[in-house]
A = this chain, B = another copy of it.
Amino acid sequence: MKTYSLGLDFGTNSCRSLIVDLDSGQELASQVVPYPSGQEGMFLNPKDPNVARQNAEDYLFSMRKSVRSAIDRAKEADSSFDSTRIIGIGIDTTGSSPMPVNEEGLPLSQISEFKGNLDAMVWLWKDHSSFAEAAQITDLAAKKRPHFLAKIGGIYSSEWFWSKILHCKNVAPAVFKATYSFVEICDYIPAVLSGNTKPDFLIRSICAAGHKALYNEMWGGLPDKEFLSALDPDLGDLRDRLYTKAVSSNQPAGLLCRKWAHELGLESGIAIAVGAFDAHMGAVGTGVKEGTLVKILGTSTCDIMVSPRDKGLADIPGVCGIVDGSVLPGYLGIEAGQSAVGDIFSWFVHQLVPDSYGRTDDVKFKNLEKEAARQKPGEHGLLVLDWNNGNRTILVDVRLSGLLIGQTLQTQAHEIYRALIEATAFGALTIINRIEEYGVAVHEVINCGGLAAKNPFLLQIYADITGRPMKVSQSDQTCALGAAIFGAVAAGPEHGGFKTVKEAQQAVTGTKEVFQPDRNNHLVYKDMFKLYSQLHDAFGTSSWSGSLSNVMKDLIALRETQRYRRIHARRTQT
């Protein structure tokens, strides 16, 4: 008899439900439901652009609606579909997105005293208001616990668990005082579904704990009390109300409780996998294995690899995190990323492209690409540093900015657009090089996410610049698919699921297109990458010292050579 798994993907603006046929691997039905409150689900502070919060009730509302609707759609797609044959649920969310809860696990924002208080809500991953606290944590760790930093690339981020909690303590002491514990959204949703929300008992994800909360079994779980107390005595006390153990998503967090079985229209008692972050489950849904780099290309980029635990692995400076079991059980999960990719293109098109390219951003994108595709690499004479939103890997520095060099009085918008895409590819290559330098070979690159699905022009440039084939994931909803895989593994073969993640991946993941690198373009890009690296090190590292007087001249020379080649190539054709 057929079995199905349900993947739930909680994004920044909406919840997606995906029903996967575990026999055929077919994605039977899916449904996206935006969060109903805030601005696209976010609560912002007009006086402080760093603030971004969410309402935990929104997750439940959108989950309920999207699951019910996906079930309806599955029935339409296949009349033999039977929702009682859904054997497991997997959950991925954004992160680090912690929220304060009381001893019962009730979000503080649902207690009348704190209704409407932004600091009592979910502190969304992209909230940067705790940058000062992040610096404080980094400084203290550098002095007292350098081994903490070695696993997270050297710098603790303002986006992460402890920065946010310490900032909450500093700016909202009343909220902090009323808080029993803090819970990541990826742990809250499984807790709700299994009816086990008490912070002392609910199951915590190794993915969130290891990548964002400095959890590591090497040093006994979360950071020690002495370290936390040195940041703030209340943080030391809080440690006792957090957790001592975090687990991988192949494990069940619990079973679906009656209340939520009823709410969602599912059978109670089915397995609910431990949650994890979207990128990590997305990598699994894309088919990550040893030697595979999964690139999740969206507004920002997340790069995921795994390396067998037994092989051992040196710390990789500048890589966001290395966490045992955060992607696949038995493997070290390696997370890297670029702070802005699609976001840079959207910024440029929205702010700096005249209407001669089209009247809407969509049309502008199409025409920019059309014009940019006519040029040879380097013909625009431009070079960009893709740091408009800082640099996550390998510099781990938010206090960086964009740079554009090479513009003349003739430079056109589509040339800059091409240079922006190239810059993100150079950034991607910098990450690959760093990972390989530390002994993790990249045998294949599989891309997924919005940009991979709809931007072949970008993927070709990525192939040309990296000199590697760029594969594209078969699924367009890899995060939800990864979640469904974990749902099926948590259910286990005895319920029609799978024993291992690998088996589940073989059943439901795959790739479709492959973009092969062009040899000639790659040679030109090798020269441009040298210049990119020169600027990268000059502006991004304090150790660099040297001269830059070659940069503009080399770009002009390349522009002239490539323009000549294109004109010459056209002449010999005609």
Contacts and interface: CB of A to CB of B under 8 A. Distances in A.
B412 A351 contact: yes
Interface string A402-413: 111111111111
A549 B541 contact: yes
B401 A389 contact: no
A49 interface: yes
A157 B511 CA distance: 57
A548 B555 CA distance: 20
Contacts of A443: none
Contact of A388 (B350, B407, B412, B416): B407
A411 B544 CA distance: 28
Nearest to A535: B548
Contacts of A548: 538-539, 544, 548
Contacts of A547: 538, 542, 544-545
A340 B409 contact: yes
A351 B344 CA distance: 18
This protein's copies in its complex: 2
A376 interface: no
A190 interface: no
Contacts of A400: 552-553
A549 B555 contact: no
Given A544-B547, A547-B544, A408 B413 contact: no
Contacts of A416: 352
B389 A552 contact: no
A67 interface: no
Nearest to A387: B552
Contacts of A553: 399-400
A556 interface: yes
A408 B401 contact: yes
A18 interface: no
Contacts of A399: 552-553, 556
B552 A401 contact: yes
A411 B351 contact: yes
Contacts of A49: 410
21 contacts: A343-B409, A344-B409, A350-B354, A352-B353, A354-B354, A354-B355, A388-B409, A399-B553, A400-B552, A401-B405, A401-B407, A401-B555, A402-B404, A402-B411, A403-B405, A404-B407, A538-B547, A538-B549, A539-B551, A544-B547, A545-B546
Given A344-B409, A355-B355, 4 more contacts: A340-B409, A352-B352, A352-B413, A546-B546
- For the complex of A and B, the 3 pairs showing the least CB-CB separation, nearest first, are A402-B407, A355-B355, A542-B549
Interface of A: 49, 340, 343-344, 347, 350-355, 381, 387-389, 399-413, 416, 538-542, 544-549, 551-553, 555-556
